[in-house]
Chains A and B, each alone.
Chain A
Amino acid sequence: MLRRSPLLLAALLAYPIVIALLVGLVAGYASAKPRVAFVDEDGLPPVVTVAGHSFHIRSVVDQVAKEVTLVRLGPDEASRELASGKVVATITVPPGFVGKLLTTVRTPSLILRTGSGGLAPRVTQQVQALVYRLNNKLQQGYISANLVFVRLLLHGGAGSFLGRHFDVLGLDGTQKLLEGVPPSKRVAAIQRFVRVARVGLAQTGAALHATAHPIALAQPKQKGRTWVLSAQVQSYGIALTVTFLALLLAAGAAAAEQEEGTLGRLRRGLASPGQLVWSKVALASVVGLGLGAAIAVLFGIVAEAGGVSGGEPWARLPLLFAGVLLAAAVVGAAGTLLGALAREPRTASLLAVLVVLPVVFLGLVPRGALAAAWWVSELLPFSHAVRFIGAALYDTSPWRAVGTQALWLAGLGAVYWFLARRGMRTLAG
């Protein structure tokens, strides 16, 4: 049979290879950069000068972007995205950060908030590394500032501290003064102290270079969504269910009509090929909407019960339902096409399952992993459904994203509908 069906043979050989590649790509995503929000509430200047040492603080911060994808967001948006799981952590530069840094005597804090996802420990490590790098850079400025005071103590002179100006005699001046004082046991003791102090302070520079951690990392507890309730899981969960169900249902319905012979009856002027496609699309849409809505409501209830914040589990349901309905309709049209090609329900079901897996895996491949896979995924409805649902539930201003994805879905739906209509005509004729 396989010898007579070279196409089937090729498909059977290629399918596991394609699936293996896609699984590899998706698995590779686990080692891809996590998305971290960067909130600058202090308005970091491009260059900060600490004790006469200038350094580009932004460039240091950007170095961390080699390890994670830093997304600059406002505080509210960052909180919302952390709560919904769209970012795995937020790094906040609080107001007054640079001011404290410039005093060189107070320790400013970067605030790291992480979600409860599996990537949180990794992000914490990345941010600890960032703080370490910042500290290394700042260390030079801090040491220089401290050495100014050490030099003042050693050699004396004019100085300032926290805006107050003063003159210091210094150990050199003290020793000179002591040389003019008549010798006595007390004077000798002071002279010994001055010598020891001068030797000791001369080593201060090296000692300061050895230890310096001007920035501490504060990590307040955050009650965000667990990984299970994150935006990604919810979006993928609903989209996957709707895709699988709508494809299988429409493909099965189209093939069943062919097998039962009712398609021939209907084609005798009772229903046009277009109407036949619409009936499958309507079936897939209604059932897809019902199941998608049930899942969304279940997520909402669990989120409410868990008291987790973020997202709009209830207010955005109508928008979510619109997305689910549209996605189910588009997938339903694709399923009808599959059913028309398969001609027989069992083959249609098998074909639908075989198609769903790579479609979903392609949707999971990040753009950076393999551009070609990403582009192929763009021509399939799954990734657009995921983005529509995610935006509908969690974006502060979802309209742009929702509109773009709706246009994509509508365009793909029109193509699938046209092909399915041709398929139904061929099937019936």
Chain B
Amino acid sequence: MDEITKYQDQSSGRDHVRRVFNAMLTARVLENKLGSLYKAGKIVGGVYLGKGQEAVSAAMASCLEKGKDVYAPLIRDQAGRTAFGEELIDCTRTYLGSVNGPMRGRDGNIHRGRPAEGMLAMISHLGAAIPVVAGMLLAKRLKGELDGVVGATCVGDGCTSTGAFHEGLNTAAVEKLPLVLTVANNQYAYSTPNDRQFACENLVDKAVGYGVRGHSVDGTDMLACIEVMHEAVSRARAGDGPQLVVASMLRLTGHGEHDDGSYVDAALRNSGLGRDSIEIGIKQLVEGGFASVEEVEQWQDDAANRVQEAVAIAQKEDSPDPYQDDWMAYSNAEMQMQK
């Protein structure tokens, strides 16, 4: 327990709460902008937003240390990406197809990352990142560099039905790896509601079956998310093995911006799950004395400026040129066939 407390003390407190909220707010401002750009026809391909999941996403990534830990964000983790330290320009360049982005136009939108900096670039297949994070941790163990390190990834309720989820979590448990696996249970996988996705009463019950520790949290409650993520990440760092965190909330957007989400049950929208974690966060900041209303307004203006700047830069940059791309799928040029 002492070990866990030690890690908790490193990053808890007032600054941490303010940092988490800033990432949430920045993500919301950025995503509103991405939505507008999509509707204006400025973005090729889909736009996938994390509205409603900002608290859990930012809370998890805020407990990670870039350069040391491993982070594999998924489709609705803009807030987590920002909290982890991804520059806004990486996002706008990827969405707007700038050749200067981390994916150089070879992949788009949320399928971006900087693996060399510990942030994986997701593929679309759900659950696929779970064993990959485990493998990165395993390699660190082999190098003798795992001490105090964690790997974290986020999936949705739909992912819990995949074989990849089962195999990945089981394997991490067998190896007792410091993996924090968060399930953002946002009630829908695209249009499929939970009652067509799984039959268990609560997804966190799965933790017992895998022999890992389970945590539940109200994903709309920013402070609760911070507390639970802290606990889970600290336990993983201290050698307690994989942690399964199930956060519940409602997706406050369609699956993508092409989807109006009209199938979402009105009763869910009006329930506690449908609360907006940003609004709750503001209330918690002010009531808890973490920040004043004026500060929050200032942060909002700052975020808007930073987003505007990141969009403006990316919009001015060149798109990829098929005559300039090296068309190399191999790092060893000898392996590349020309036709």
> Does B bind A?
no
